């Protein structure tokens, strides 16, 4: 089974700073099926990035994704107050297909 | 604009079953996968399985095989998730979510329900 490990567990930054979140897979992934979600307290997750680097509909260009193989990154270029949330990476694949999430990175205001 | 409306909160006894519904409105139903994702209090996201209604056959995460049943009713645009042999560890918010791509085999979920809280307690 593929395991996704996110780092850091918690990231403390100030508005206006740049955030870099990492996700490492236990085996090489097909980028076609790797994405990132944002979740705020009491809300359902929201898709931010799919296919490792494509922004979902309505997502600010401050969010960007990169990576391939086993190492993927979510970058938020200039943090806004509404960006402070928990972020999850996700991969899908296999036969039969399954979806796996990382354990999450909490982005908090410093 | 597709929306997913989930059934209300449930309180169940250990060993019993729970059935949660997810009704789609405002868009195409049968050709998009609907997944179920749960989140225990203070924990991360866990994919349980899903179904593409027109294909009828559901797919399940290995962890939940034999304990979860996902079905779809095309006449009412509703997907159901039934979890049996409930334990206290099943206490969680259960979300349904629609796949981003038509006929996508559980790739990405871009429309989510608001979640249904299931509490398992004696």
Place of tokens 């897979």: A25
Nearest to A44 among B35, B95, B106 (CB): B95
Place of tokens 């395991």: A3
Place of tokens 């600010």: A60
Q: Assess contact for A57 and B110: CB atoms under 8 A.
A: yes
A32, two tokens: 């076609």
Residues A12-44 have pLDDT tens digits of 999 999 999 999 999 999 767 999 999 999 999
Instruction: Report the pLDDT value the prediction gives residue A31, as an integer from 0 to 100.
Output: 64
Q: Is A51 exposed, middle or buried (0-12, 13-18, 19+ CB in 10 A)?
A: middle
Q: Give the residue from A92, A98, A89 showing the smallest Cα distance to A36.
A: A89
Residues B73-89 have pLDDT tens digits of 999 999 999 999 999 99
Tell me: pLDDT of A79 over 80: yes
Q: What beta strand segments (E) does B9-91 contain?
A: 10-12, 18-25, 32-39, 46-51, 58-60, 68-73, 78-83
Tell me: pLDDT of A82 over 70: yes
Does A88 contact B115 at a Cβ distance shorter than 8 Å? no
User: How many pairs of residues across A and B have Cβ atoms under 8 Å apart?
Assistant: 60
């Amino acid at each position: 089974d593929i395991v996704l490990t996110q780092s850091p567990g918690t990231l403390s930054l100030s508005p206006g700073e740049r955030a870099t979140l990492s996700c490492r897979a236990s085996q090489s992934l097909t980028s076609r099926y790797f994405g990132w979600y944002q979740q705020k307290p009491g809300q359902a997750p929201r898709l931010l990035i799919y296919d490792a680097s494509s922004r979902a509909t309505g997502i600010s260009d401050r969010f960007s994704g990169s990576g391939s193989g086993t190492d993927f990154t979510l970058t938020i270029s200039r943090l806004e107050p509404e960006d402070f949330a928990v972020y999850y990476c996700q991969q899908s694949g296999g036969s039969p297909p399954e979806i796996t999430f990382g354990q999450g990175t909490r982005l908090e205001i410093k | 604009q597709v929306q997913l409306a989930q059934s209300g909160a449930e309180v169940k006894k250990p060993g019993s079953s729970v059935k949660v519904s997810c009704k789609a409105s405002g868009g195409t139903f049968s050709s998009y996968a609907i997944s179920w994702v749960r989140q225990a209090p203070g924990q991360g996201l866990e994919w349980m399985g899903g179904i593409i209604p027109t294909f009828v056959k559901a797919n399940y995460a290995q962890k939940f095989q034999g304990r979860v049943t996902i079905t779809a009713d095309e006449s009412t645009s509703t997907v159901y998730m039934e979890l049996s042999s409930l334990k206290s560890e099943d206490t969680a918010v259960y979300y349904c979510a629609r796949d981003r791509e038509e006929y996508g085999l559980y790739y990405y979920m871009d429309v989510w329900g608001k979640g249904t809280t299931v509490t398992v307690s004696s």
